[in-house]
Amino acid sequence: VVKLNEDGSFLLMTSYIVDPSEFYVHMVTPNATKIDQLKKELNLFYQQKADMLRKITFEPCGNDMCCARFSEDKTWYRAQICSVTYARGCSATVSAGRHGGRKAQRSCEADRLDCSEVQVHYVDYGNFERLPVSEVLPLMPEFTEMPAHAVKCSLYGIKPTTEQVGDWG
């Protein structure tokens, strides 16, 4: 629930922009600092336990929540798996959502091929990234209680200048 200011407005902060039809914002509220505390606790936990957690069998599937290590700052963040790419001579992917493809082409078992790479959506910031499966770990239940911080938005009535879908020129 969004609490409006007296003039009917509310504050947002842009977090990540794909294009005018898809961008992510954070609500600016007194509770906004809770995500910083979650990030600190999450990183402390995963820095200490990552090696142990890697020993656990984790077979990522589309739409699974996970903890992913962002390549730019090597920090752990909450994420959702968009697609999974399998190795051993097969380029099949299991996908979910706009950035992972249209439909699942194989089940999660994928003929027992090894998962080599995943595409994740960082749910608290809105950005997407392809990562080796070694940079993705199961998300512990204590880090799932807070809802995703990034809110997906789009500009109403704005369309690309060309007929090609997604071409914003």
Q: Count CB-CB contacts under 10 A for residue 64.
A: 20
State how far the Cα of 86 lies from the Cα of 111, in Å rounded to an integer.
10
Residue 91 pLDDT class (50, 70, 90 cuts): very low
Residue 149 pLDDT class (50, 70, 90 cuts): very high
Please state the pTM of the whole predicted model.
0.79
Q: If we measure between CA atoms, which residue out of 88, 20, 74 comes closest to residue 43?
A: 74
Instruction: Determine the average pLDDT of the residues in 7-17.
Output: 90
Write the CB contacts of 105 (distance below 8 Å, at least 6 apart in sequence). Answer: 92, 93, 94, 95
Q: What does residue 48 show for φ and ψ, rounded to 5 degrees?
A: -80, -35
What is residue 132's predicted lDDT score, i.e. its pLDDT?
Answer: 92
Contact 28, 9 (CB under 8 A): no
Residue owning tokens 């898809």: 22
Helix, strand, coil % in the chain, rounded to nearest 5 = 20, 30, 50
Is pLDDT above 80 for 164?
Answer: no
Is pLDDT above 60 for 104?
Answer: no
Residue 27 pLDDT class (50, 70, 90 cuts): confident
